[in-house]
Amino acid sequence: MSTADDRFLAIDGGQTAVKVSHAGRRLSFPGLRTNTEIMPQLAEVVSAVIPAPGPSDWTVAVGTTGLTRAEGDPRILLELCRARGVGRVILAHDSVTSFLGAVGFRRGVVVASGTGVVTFGVGADSVARVDGWGNLMGDVGSGFWIGRSGLEAVMRAYDGRGPATAITELATERWPDLSQAYIELQGNPGHVRLVASFAKGIACLAETDEVAAAICRRAGEELALSARTAVSRIGEAASPRPVVCLVGGVFRSRHVRESCIAGLRREWPRFEPFEAAGDGLVGAEALASLPADSPLSSSVAVAAV
C-alpha cells in the first residue's frame, strides 16, 4: 500500500500533539491525555480526518503513547471507526514507530525523548524496550522528568533546602505565590504537559544556571544508560559503533545531548549518533510495509473487517 493512497491514514499519537498523515498532507491535533482511555481520543482524530461514512476500505496505521495491555487490541479502534469506513487498523506502541521512522528496518536503538521517553532496540531476532513506564514510575530523562526536577529544585530553594536557581523565575511567572503552586498543579488535568513545558526554559537556563545545567546533564546520563541497556539486550554490545539514534525535543538541549553522547562514548569511544531518517509519523506510515519476518512483527497488531 502506498502511503500517498487517499484511503490510508497514519497517526503518531503523542502527549504533546497527535500528528496525522493523509494523501501527502500532514495535520496536527491536541495531544493525548494518558490518564483516560486512548482509543476514543484516537477515534475522534480519525473522524476529524475522514469526512463522511463510506465503504470499509480505509486503512489506519497508528503508533501511540499510552498503549496499555487493555487497549492494545486494534479491534477496539476498528469498531469505534467502522462507521467512518475504516476496514483495517494496524496498531503499535509509539516506541515501535519512533524506531521505524528513525532507522527503518535495520538493527539499532532509538531513544525518543519528548514529554515522555521510551528507548527501543531491534536486533537480529529480538527487540527490547527500556523505560517508557510513565511519569509516575519512569520516563527518566524526559521533558516531564526535567520539568519536575526543575520545579523540585525551585521548592528546595524556596524552603532553604537547596541552592538558589534562576528556574525560580520561570515558576513564579506561572505561580506568583509559590506556596500555592502545588495545589493548582495537582488539580490541573493537563499537569503532565504543564510540567513538561518547563523543560525548554530549563534547557535555556542551563547555559548560565548550574542547577539547570546539572538537571540537564543528569537527564543525558540517564538516557545514555537506557541506550546502553537496549544495545546490550539486543545483542549489539560488541559492535565498535552501534546504531543509536537520539530523537525528540529534549535532545535540542545542548547539555542533554552532549551528556548523553559522552555516556555512550565511555562504552564505545568511536560512537557517533545515527541521524534520524524520519519521525514517528514516518514510522506509522512504515507499519503498512513491515516485512513479515521482521522481529518487530510481534510488536504490531492488525485487525480487519
Residue corresponding to grid cell 526536577: 149
Residues 6+ apart with CB under 8 A from 111: 117, 119, 223, 226, 227, 230, 244, 245, 246, 247, 248, 260
Residue ranges per structural domain of the chain? 8-98+280-304, 105-276
Q: 300-304 and 17-22: which strand pairing? A: unpaired
Tens digits of per-residue pLDDT, 141-200? Answer: 999 999 999 999 999 999 999 999 999 999 999 999 999 999 999 999 889 999 999 999
Residue 9: count other Cβ atoms within 10 Å of its Cβ.
Answer: 27
Q: 8-13 and 17-22: which strand pairing? A: antiparallel
Top CATH class, 105-276:
alpha beta
pLDDT for 4 equals 52
Buried b (16+ CB within 10 A) or exposed e, 125-159: eebbbbbbebbeebbbbbbbbbbbbbbebbbebbe
Q: How far apart are CA 203 and CA 216, in angstroms?
A: 7
Whether 8-98+280-304 and 105-276 share one fold: the answer is: yes
Q: How far apart are CA 257 and CA 251, in angstroms?
A: 5
Buried b (16+ CB within 10 A) or exposed e, 241-264: ebbbbbbbbbbebebbbebbbebb
Residues 6+ apart with CB under 8 A from 60: 9, 10, 11, 46, 77, 81, 86, 88, 89, 90
Q: How far apart are CA 214 and CA 230, in angstroms?
A: 25
pLDDT for 3 equals 53
pLDDT for 283 equals 94
pLDDT for 301 equals 92
With a cut of 70, list the residues of the chain below it in pLDDT.
1-4
Superfamily of domain 8-98+280-304: ATPase, nucleotide binding domain (3.30.420.40)
pLDDT for 134 equals 87
Q: How far apart are CA 93 and CA 283, in angstroms?
A: 11
Q: Which cell numbers hold the place of 15?
A: 502527549
